[in-house]
């Protein structure tokens, strides 16, 4: 057993290629590296248990997970590096991984390898060895590989690579404990990996450049000259940038360019291909000696499932069936919980108000504690069952491997608005709740795809807006309720598509990101894995969005109750005055009353609050609301109002989560302004166009 002694550690800032002189401590630093979908998270979970610290890499939106544990009286710090296929500078994940290895110099790196796909996985191992990482290979899914007819002789690989190799199942405590023992042993002495054989010609030129660097440039000790030589030869922009900061670099770079041209001329290939070929050739030789394959000819279950779910005709309907089930199940399961939370807070509020009245506390204190504090906390917690259920559903789709298939079948459709298939799930989840939807964009590779998907997400009409539509549709279009609500949803989708097209041609012009992704084999997810997945995302939502939501709820309460002595949200209150002030802006849209304005301001907290606010400002309960509204709205202005509610500022929670996910205030502010502008224009067109066409 691993004695668990988990502590939360804050991440320290890092800059490019600056060696972190760690203070003298006996903590062993271990990093986990590996390709995506090889069980790295499972291993991390088995190692650290359920309590682990999730944050972001400094200045990045990529998750950084780490945990501390004790093993035989030694404290160990484990960092889960992002999943990467390579250590070029292609993606942020790759840059983070290699900078971490160079700068933080972890004592040991455990590279987790999918045994069923060892050749591709070793491509990363070779590059880790190039980087002089103190490596241990952990072969995962060996049982599965053997069933497929792939038998790996780990001792031979170990001998050929010169690093310890061990077979594990990432969810087995025993295996992982053994691995940890090996890692602790390896941390004491550096392994001496065997040289990677690139072939004589390349080898010769790498040494030539290495000597050139050693002779001409004063490299700091944490930069390895051979690795630099390889990367410079490969034309790695980041490393070239680093070299340029030294004296004499121009000469060296010129010389390197000459060698590169020479190699490209001999091999008649570009330098990337030359190195890829050399590395794969080395791996092939190694695999030939240490792996015996007797591939079973029968079609695997994975292939059978794929032939259905990626089918040209069946694929898409099957996907919608799955999504329908997810929404049904998650909303049905979360409803009783939501009800419970709601009633608990009502109960709590009543009890506290009763108590405060009994001690004759001033009215404003009662209202503050009852409406703002408890109401505020309640409105945050009310979201939680729904959000957690949707997070669980996403985790399930992700961990089984189905999510990648969805991306595949939806790619053609999404391509039309300049996105990939991968963006489809976040957009679809938006119909449930925009918050988990925006957090789900983490699965997208490129920054541009993420931003674009986040920015158009609020137009997917979330479930909280539905009650508003239902109220208005039943009051004004009793015969065509369904059709009217459907049209509203379609307008949302149209706004999303149109915005996607506009952003693609303006904000993100020229930033096309190619679709290249792996379809991982189907796997049965572990319950712990799913729960941890759901939990850490859910908790991070509560922590980050919760504070913002709470603060805004409290400040709206203040606006509704100041100056002292006014009725809540009445015309004399600050919010009422604000409503009066902005009402003229809504006049051309057909709803220029201060009441509607106040409802819209309150709707910023959460869209479902709009109904309650109408009730408060008109002084009626939910039963009488429809008839009151019929007096102040016409069918046309009601429809215009619905369109506005659909499109204008997403709720606070969404804005807060955009802030968190984009790591800046720029995009949430942009979203607020942009959506309001679009909403205003769309409602204007609806109302004025409707008037012209003779509707009232």
Partner 1 sequence: MIVPLSNVKNGQRVRIKCIDCGFGLKRRLCSLGLYDGTMVEVVKNDSRGPVLLKVLNSKVVIGRGQAMKILVEEVR
Q: Does 672 bind partner 1 (CB under 8 A)?
A: no
Q: Which is nearer to partner 1, 419 or 455 (CB)?
A: 419
What b/e sequence results for 489-512 when a residue is b if at least 16 CB atoms lie within 10 Å of its CB, and e otherwise?
A: bebbeebbeebbeebbeeebeeee
Q: Which is nearer to partner 1, 255 or 411 (CB)?
A: 411
Q: Which is nearer to partner 1, 230 or 606 (CB)?
A: 230
- For the bound state, the minimum distance from the C-beta of residue 148 to partner 1, rounded and expressed in Å, comes to 8
Q: Tell me the window of 11-19, 366-374, 405-413, 635-643 that interacts with partner 1 (CB under 8 A).
A: 405-413
Q: Which is nearer to partner 1, 400 or 528 (CB)?
A: 400
Task: Tell me which of 377, 517, 620, 625 binds partner 1, using CB under 8 A.
Answer: 517
Question: Tokens 């103190």 label which residue?
Answer: 134
Task: Tell me which of 1, 359, 516, 527 binds partner 1, using CB under 8 A.
Answer: 516
- For the bound state, the minimum distance from the C-beta of residue 119 to partner 1, rounded and expressed in Å, comes to 5
The number of beta carbons lying within 10 Å of the beta carbon of residue 563 is: 9
Task: Tell me which of 171, 310, 571, 688 binds partner 1, using CB under 8 A.
Answer: 310
Binding residues with partner 1: total (CB under 8 A): 42
Rounded Cα gap, residues 502 and 543, in angstroms = 34
Q: Which is nearer to partner 1, 54 or 517 (CB)?
A: 517
Q: Does 342 bind partner 1 (CB under 8 A)?
A: no
Q: Does 316 bind partner 1 (CB under 8 A)?
A: no
Structure tokens at 693: 């066409």
- For the bound state, the minimum distance from the C-beta of residue 512 to partner 1, rounded and expressed in Å, comes to 8
Q: Tell me the window of 86-94, 167-175, 376-384, 475-483 that interacts with partner 1 (CB under 8 A).
A: 86-94
Structure tokens at 65: 């997970």
Structure tokens at 63: 């998750």
CA atoms within 13 A on the CB side of 480: 9
Q: Which is nearer to partner 1, 271 or 381 (CB)?
A: 271
Task: Tell me which of 69, 113, 116, 444 binds partner 1, using CB under 8 A.
Answer: 116
Q: Tell me the window of 191-199, 517-525, 545-553, 606-614 that interacts with partner 1 (CB under 8 A).
A: 517-525
Q: Does 626 bind partner 1 (CB under 8 A)?
A: no
Q: Tell me the window of 254-262, 339-347, 382-390, 509-517 that interacts with partner 1 (CB under 8 A).
A: 509-517
Q: Which of 34, 9, 170, 10 is nearest to 93 (CA)?
A: 34
Residues comprising the chain, all counted:
696
CA atoms within 13 A on the CB side of 391: 25
Q: Does 120 bind partner 1 (CB under 8 A)?
A: yes
Q: Does 510 bind partner 1 (CB under 8 A)?
A: no
- For the bound state, the minimum distance from the C-beta of residue 24 to partner 1, rounded and expressed in Å, comes to 38
Q: Does 222 bind partner 1 (CB under 8 A)?
A: no
Task: Tell me which of 312, 360, 506, 631 binds partner 1, using CB under 8 A.
Answer: 312
Q: Which is nearer to partner 1, 262 or 415 (CB)?
A: 415
Rounded Cα gap, residues 396 and 390, in angstroms = 10
- For the bound state, the minimum distance from the C-beta of residue 11 to partner 1, rounded and expressed in Å, comes to 27
Element (H, E) at 110: strand 108-114
CA distances from 138 to 30, 85, 152, 176, 396 (A): 13, 16, 12, 9, 25
Task: Tell me which of 26, 200, 297, 412 binds partner 1, using CB under 8 A.
Answer: 412
Scanning residues 143 to 182, which ones bind partner 1 (CB under 8 A)?
150
Scanning residues 414 to 453, which ones bind partner 1 (CB under 8 A)?
415, 420-421
The number of beta carbons lying within 10 Å of the beta carbon of residue 48 is: 22
Please answer whether residues 564 and 364 qualify as being in contact, where contact means their C-beta atoms are separated by less than 8 angstroms. yes
DSSP secondary structure code for residue 372 in this structure: I
CA atoms within 13 A on the CB side of 446: 18
Q: Which of 646, 602, 680 is nearest to 484 (CA)?
A: 646
Beta-carbon contacts of 692 under 8 Å, excluding residues fewer than 6 positions away, are none
Strand order in the sheet with 135-140: 53-56, 63-71, 74-80, 28-34, 108-114, 135-140, 165-167
Q: Does 519 bind partner 1 (CB under 8 A)?
A: yes
Beta-carbon contacts of 509 under 8 Å, excluding residues fewer than 6 positions away, are none
CA distances from 126 to 86, 276, 278 (A): 9, 11, 11
Please answer whether residues 198 and 279 qualify as being in contact, where contact means their C-beta atoms are separated by less than 8 angstroms. yes
Scanning residues 259 to 298, which ones bind partner 1 (CB under 8 A)?
269-270, 272-273, 275-277, 280
Q: Tell me the window of 114-122, 436-444, 462-470, 663-671 that interacts with partner 1 (CB under 8 A).
A: 114-122
List contacts with partner 1 (CB under 8 A): 85-86, 88, 90-91, 116-120, 123-124, 150, 235, 269-270, 272-273, 275-277, 280, 306, 310, 312, 404, 407-409, 411-412, 415, 420-421, 514-521
């Amino acid at each position: 057993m691993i004695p668990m002694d988990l502590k939360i550690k804050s991440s320290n800032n890092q800059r490019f290629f600056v060696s972190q002189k760690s203070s003298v401590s006996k903590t062993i630093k271990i990093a986990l590296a590996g390709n995506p979908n090889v069980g790295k998270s499972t291993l991390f979970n088995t190692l650290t248990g359920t309590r682990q610290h999730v944050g972001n890499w400094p200045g990045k939106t990529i998750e950084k997970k780490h945990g501390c544990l004790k093993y035989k009286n030694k404290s160990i710090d484990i960092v889960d590096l992002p999943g990467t296929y390579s250590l070029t500078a292609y993606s942020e994940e790759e840059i983070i991984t290699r900078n971490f290895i160079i700068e933080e110099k972890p004592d040991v790196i455990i590279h987790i390898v999918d045994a069923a796909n060892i050749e591709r996985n070793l491509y990363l191992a070779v590059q880790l060895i190039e980087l002089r990482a103190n490596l241990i290979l952990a072969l995962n899914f060996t049982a599965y590989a053997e069933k497929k007819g792939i038998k790996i002789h780990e001792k031979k690989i170990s001998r050929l690579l010169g690093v310890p190799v061990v077979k594990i199942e990432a969810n087995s405590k025993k295996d992982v404990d053994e691995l940890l023992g090996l890692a602790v042993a390896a941390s004491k002495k550096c392994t001496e990996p065997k040289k990677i054989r690139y072939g004589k010609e390349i080898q010769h030129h790498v040494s030539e450049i290495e000597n050139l660097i050693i002779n001409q440039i004063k490299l700091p000790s944490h930069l390895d000259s051979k690795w630099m030589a390889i990367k410079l030869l490969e034309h790695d922009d980041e490393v070239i940038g680093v070299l340029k900061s030294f004296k004499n670099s121009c000469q060296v770079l010129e010389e390197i360019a000459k060698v590169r041209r020479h190699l490209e001329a001999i091999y008649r290939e570009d330098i990337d291909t030359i190195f890829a070929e050399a590395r794969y050739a080395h791996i092939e030789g190694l695999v030939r000696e240490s792996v015996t394959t007797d591939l079973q000819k029968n079609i695997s279950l994975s292939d059978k499932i794929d032939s259905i779910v990626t089918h040209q005709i069946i694929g898409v309907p099957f996907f919608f069936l799955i999504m329908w089930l997810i929404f049904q199940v998650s909303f049905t399961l979360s409803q009783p919980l939501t009800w419970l939370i709601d009633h608990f807070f009502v109960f709590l509020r009543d009890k506290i108000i009763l108590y405060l009245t009994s001690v004759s506390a001033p009215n404003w204190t009662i209202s503050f504690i009852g409406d703002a504090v408890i109401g505020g906390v309640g409105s945050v917690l009310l979201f939680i069952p729904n959000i957690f259920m949707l997070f669980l559903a996403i985790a399930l789709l992700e961990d089984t491997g189905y999510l990648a298939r969805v991306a595949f079948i939806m790619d053609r459709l999404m391509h039309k608005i300049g996105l990939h298939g991968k963006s489809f799930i976040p957009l679809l989840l938006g119909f449930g709740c925009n918050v988990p939807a925006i957090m789900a964009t983490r699965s997208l590779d490129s920054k541009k795809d993420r931003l674009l998907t986040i920015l158009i997400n609020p137009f997917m009409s979330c479930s909280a807006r539905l009650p508003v539509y239902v109220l208005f549709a039943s009051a004004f279009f009793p015969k065509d309720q369904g059709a009217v609500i459907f049209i509203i949803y379609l307008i949302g989708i149209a706004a999303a598509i149109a915005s996607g097209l506009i952003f693609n041609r303006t904000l993100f012009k020229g930033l096309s990101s190619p679709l290249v992704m792996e379809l991982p084999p189907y796997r049965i997810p572990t319950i712990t894995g799913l729960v941890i997945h759901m939990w850490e995302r859910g908790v991070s939502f509560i922590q980050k969005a919760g504070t913002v939501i709470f603060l805004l709820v409290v400040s709206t309460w203040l606006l509704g109750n100041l100056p002292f002595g006014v009725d809540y949200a009445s015309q004399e209150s600050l919010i009422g005055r604000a409503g009066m002030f902005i009402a003229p802006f809504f006049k051309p849209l057909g709803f220029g009353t201060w009441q509607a304005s106040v409802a819209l301001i309150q709707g910023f907290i959460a869209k479902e609050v709009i109904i309650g606010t109408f009730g408060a400002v008109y002084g009626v309960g939910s039963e009488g609301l429809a008839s009151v509204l019929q007096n102040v709205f016409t069918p046309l202005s009601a429809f215009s109002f619905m369109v506005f509610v659909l499109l204008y500022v997403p709720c606070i929670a969404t804005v807060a989560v955009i802030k968190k996910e984009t790591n800046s205030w720029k995009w949430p502010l942009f979203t607020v302004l942009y959506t309001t502008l679009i909403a205003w224009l769309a409602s204007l067109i609806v109302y004025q166009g409707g008037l012209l066409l003779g509707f009232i």
